[in-house]
Amino acid sequence: MKHRTRTLAIGFCATAAICVSAQAAGGQQTHRMDPHSAQWHAFEGRSGCHMAHEIPGQGVALISYRHDGRQYLSFFANRPPREEITGDLYIGQPVWGGDQRRHVESVRLHPDARTLRFSRRTTQRLLDALRDGREPQIRYEAVYSGDLVEIGLTPAAFQRALGHYRECIARHERVDAGTATRGQVIPGRTGEPMADSDGPTWEGNLPRLPRGPRTEVYFATGSDDLTRNALDEIRRFVRAVEDNPHWGVILSIGYADTRGSAEVNEQLAEARASAVRDELVHLGLPEDRIEVEARLIDDEDAEQDIHELAGNRRVELRTAL
């Protein structure tokens, strides 16, 4: 079967001026983006240091260094495939520098998943390749069109972002040693990078980052006891967190409905958040990764409908980069 090949990298092919078109083997056309339009973004989060690389129309590659000293590299697709996709991971030269590829491993993306996570060994190989100016490439055959799709993690602009990323890691290591303080924290989803006067300066706008695991757990009136449904939901959340190690901080945010005094409601909200935290620890998540918070619902926003009141008796579980 003769495939058409589409190669996707960072940047939008808005005009012919920023696109490079090369003749591939067998008369196929391969389209790549101008490397000068590519961007890697380094930023600091609540759980460590990160680099993000957006592939328009496909997803985001995310590299993370957590406080525990581990590094992770994953590709987050914009949407899960309709059928299972199998493909291959290569390390090669960008098309303007040759087309030699070395096979690294086979990859698989399931219909119920949006994340392609690489092992620690593969992560280090891919980081070394990017640092040396080589390009990690994911290649697979599109299920319906039969196109051979190639997603390239371009090394363009990687060196500058890598320098900022390493500065961030060095500062976090000094924090752990007690010789420095952490810089400002960037919200875990979107927003402008924030500069710290004593640390690295982040350049450019962050791409839209993937959202980490989150859920809600509900309680009976006046109670902080976990129901069977609540325990099941917490177990599902723990599995999602274990499958997404980039998000190193877990937020357990407790609420209560608006009946009763503010003081009692705040105590109940905190007790609920603490009960959820204790169950997370029981299921194996480190306690130092979990932050507990109690929030009161403003009377102006409160609804006295019984369904609204039930919805307010909850704990929100969120994650942050």
Residues 59 and 134 in one domain: yes
Residues 221 and 143 in one domain: no
238 falls within a domain:
yes
Would you say 95 and 20 are in contact if contact means Cβ atoms under 8 Å apart?
A: yes
Residues 16 and 153 in one domain: yes
Domain, as residue range, for 219: 215-320
What CATH number has the domain bearing residue 81? 2.60.40.2540
| Residue after which a domain boundary falls, among 112, 129, 159 | 159
Strands of 249-254's sheet, edge to edge?
215-218, 314-320, 249-254, 290-294
Strands of 59-66's sheet, edge to edge?
41-44, 48-55, 59-66, 71-77, 115-117
Q: pTM of the full predicted structure? A: 0.76
CA–CA distances in Å: residue 57 to residues 54, 79, 82:
9, 10, 16
Per-residue model confidence (pLDDT) at position 306: 55
Residues 134 and 228 in one domain: no
Contacts of 144 (CB under 8 A, 6+ apart): 82
Residues 155 and 219 in one domain: no
- What is the count of structural domains for the chain? 2
Per-residue model confidence (pLDDT) at position 191: 34
32 falls within a domain:
yes
What CATH number has the domain bearing residue 241? 3.30.1330.60
- Can you spell out the DSSP letters for 54-88? EETTTEEEEEEEETTS-EEEEEEESS--SS-EEEE
**E strands, 67-212, where?**
71-77, 85-92, 101-109, 115-117, 135-141, 148-152
Side chain identity, residue 65: Y
Per-residue model confidence (pLDDT) at position 183: 52
Spell out the per-residue pLDDT of the chain, length 321, in tens.
444 444 433 322 222 222 233 334 443 333 344 445 567 888 888 888 999 888 777 788 899 998 778 899 998 888 777 788 888 999 987 655 456 788 999 988 887 778 888 988 999 999 999 988 888 888 887 766 667 777 888 887 788 788 888 888 888 777 666 655 555 444 333 333 333 323 333 445 667 788 889 999 999 988 999 999 999 999 999 999 998 889 888 999 999 877 778 889 899 999 999 999 999 999 999 998 999 999 887 655 555 655 566 778 899 999 988
The Cα–Cα gap between 137 and 75 comes to 11
C-alpha triplet 21, 89, 164: angle, nearest 5°: 80
287 falls within a domain:
yes
Would you say 66 and 245 are in contact if contact means Cβ atoms under 8 Å apart?
A: yes
Residues 15 and 132 in one domain: yes
187 falls within a domain:
no
Q: E strand or H helix at 158, and its extent?
A: helix 158-176
**Secondary structure (3-state) at 275:** helix
| Residue after which a domain boundary falls, among 130, 159, 188 | 159
Of 191, 212, 210, residue with least CA distance to 202: 191
CA-CA-CA-CA torsion sign (256, 257, 262, 268): negative
19 falls within a domain:
yes
Residue with tokens 């690389």: 53
Residues 73 and 148 in one domain: yes
Per-residue model confidence (pLDDT) at position 34: 47
* Six-digit token string for 254: 């407790």
44 falls within a domain:
yes
185 falls within a domain:
no
Per-residue model confidence (pLDDT) at position 69: 81
The Cα–Cα gap between 281 and 291 comes to 12
